[in-house]
Amino acid sequence: MRVTTAVIVVNVLLVLLGAGGFEAWRRTQAASAAAAQTVTWGGPEREWAGVHGVVRAFIPDLGIIVLTHEDIPGFMPGMTMGFRVVAEKIPEGLSVGDAVRFTVRGSPPLVVLTAIEKAS
């Protein structure tokens, strides 16, 4: 009987401590996510200029340039993604693999590529 009672008490304590640990972890994760989310989606229009990246592909039928870019402060971490070009056609003189500097403008997540040039 004593062994059974001890096992039950230990199991109850493990469940309570585990649930408390999980709750503390969940709160920490929620706080980290809230701190990382510095952009108000659908907020006012903004512009991010001088962002460095590398051209990965062109999708001329859709007016999209795929770029691997550095972190865009206050908007998104570095990644590879497609940006819609605001001009009628994709700028000439760019090739896949070119290092570029570009500007995006808009209200996140609806941003467009407004300027792009080869990085010097």
Phi, psi of 109 (to 5 degrees): -90, 10
DSSP state of 78: S
CA atoms within 13 Å, Cβ hemisphere of 97: 0
pLDDT of residue 39: 47
Q: How far apart are CA 40 and CA 114, in angstroms?
A: 21
Question: With 90 as the cut, is the pLDDT of residue 13 above it?
Answer: no
pLDDT of residue 7: 75
Cβ burial, residue 90 (10 Å; 0-12/13-18/19+) = middle
87 or 23: whose pLDDT is higher?
87
- Beta-bridged to residue 48, according to DSSP, are 104
Three-class SS state of 73? coil
Whether the pTM exceeds 0.85: the reply is no
Q: Among 53-57, 84-88, 99-103, 110-114, where is mean pLDDT lowest?
A: 84-88
Which residue, chain included where needed, has tokens 């952009």?
Answer: 39
Three-class SS state of 20? helix
Three-class SS state of 82? strand
pLDDT digits (tens, 9 = 90+) for 26-79: 777 666 655 554 445 567 889 999 999 999 999 988 889 999 999 999 889 999
